[in-house]
Structure 1
């Protein structure tokens, strides 16, 4: 759920990374409408509210990450059967 103007800065609850679509971390990226500063995506390295508060900013970060070959920020977390095309399908529509 995305916030209305004048309300909290982010969605009430969001577990999917807006940059890469990763959604296998127990910590939400946004909770109670605020960025969870302790959550860093192990896939693309995104920190909530750093590059993902505007569509333009996150598309730039996503393009850079993909242009580098979509490397994992924490390679030990990469599943053996990881498929980038399947993962990016999880990016919320409003952040594509």
Structure 2
């Protein structure tokens, strides 16, 4: 099984969040979500994503916020990096 680096909630892709089909202990720096077995279904990530977007989709880390603003961060473009079946 492959390692997955794309967060199922926000699409952030610079951290190993799933390894060998199991969630790691990593917390997504983009949204603060900690992957768990509940993310294996489609509804949990969709509900978390909807809640996050509905509350302004703030970055979890202020440092990440600054880095992404400098790069011209775009929420919709980042979320589009997640696999189609997770959207």
TM-score (norm 1): 0.77
Equivalent residue of 1:82, what SS?
A: coil
Equivalent residue of 2:40, what SS?
A: coil
Query: Which of the numbers 65, 90, 93 marks the counterpart of 2:81?
Result: 90
Q: Unpaired segments of 5 or more residues in structure 1?
A: 1-10
Query: Which of the numbers 22, 28, 48 marks the counterpart of 1:61?
Result: 48
Equivalent residue of 2:39, what SS?
A: coil
Q: Unpaired segments of 5 or more residues in structure 2?
A: none
Q: Choose between structure 1 and 2: higher helix proportion.
A: 2
**CA RMSD, 1 decimal:** 1.5
Tell which structure's C-alpha radius of gyration is larger: 1
TM-score (norm 2): 0.85
1:19-30 matched pairs, under 5 angstroms: 19-25=9-15, 28-30=16-18
Alignment coverage as a number of residue pairs: 83
Q: Which runs of 4+ in 1 moved over 6 A?
A: none
Once residues 35 and 2 of structure 2 are traced to their aligned partners in structure 1, the CA distance between those partners, rounded to angstroms, is 13
